[in-house]
Structure 1
Amino acid sequence: GCFEHLLVLLEGLCLLLQPPQLGAVAIQGAIERAGIPKEEVKEVLMGNVLQANIGQAPARQATLFAGLPKSTVCTTINKVCASGMKSVMIGAQMLMCGEQDVILAGGMESMSNVPFYMKRGETSYGGLRLN
């Protein structure tokens, strides 16, 4: 399942992958573990907090990287540390309300790839070298 895939990635590849790519591995693993076709997943909810430098709509990116149809509805949830859990809660509520029949919900993050920012101080424009 998804956990076995992620453990292989943790052997060194995860430093090369951004959260949407890691999320795609988790999505593929969850679908494989559930034994359903990708087309049955009508909506994907993925938590992601640190979105700097990973592009727009991380849940959408992960969904497309995982090979799901472009028609799949995608939402990125940012609730700080509880983003993945909030995604699961919202997904469960949608299922209970009959809004969807199959929803994939989870979270994705890569602390190894988070950019480090500093105040520029008196240097307002141009390059700045840190020593």
Structure 2
Amino acid sequence: MTKPCENVALYFYGELDEPAAAQFKRHLAGCARCQKELLFLQHTQQALVPPAAPQAVVEKVLAPAKKTLPGWRRVWRAALAGVLVLGLGIYYFAAGPHPTLADDGAELVAYISAEADADYQQFVSDFEVFEQQF
């Protein structure tokens, strides 16, 4: 069983259940040592709480953050940014780099044919190696 004086911190932080807290409260009324320790804990907790800044200082610091544009200015800025992004996108797709091909697409067909033939030859070669191994 614990001695009542060992429960000062538990009582201070509210960790004792109702019967134990009531018992400690009765003990506290007659124990000068527990009273001094409880007073020390209270003073320590008060010393650890930082003092609040004066309201005038808080308002001065936060004043620039509170300044906002009127509602219509915010809307116009957002709309203008959207139009700018849309315009840049249209310009890129309309005037951006495009491959130049002959009118009939002969260069494209020749390129695809050459690449397809090279891919087919590589596939045949790989397949022959595969057949030899298995």
TM over 0.5: no
- Determine which structure has greater relative contact order: mean sequence separation of CA pairs < 8 Å that are 6+ residues apart, divided by chain length: 1
Considering only CA atoms, is the larger Rg found in Structure 1 or Structure 2?
2
Larger helix proportion of the pair: 2
Query: TM-score, normalised to structure 1's length?
Result: 0.22
Larger strand proportion of the pair: 1
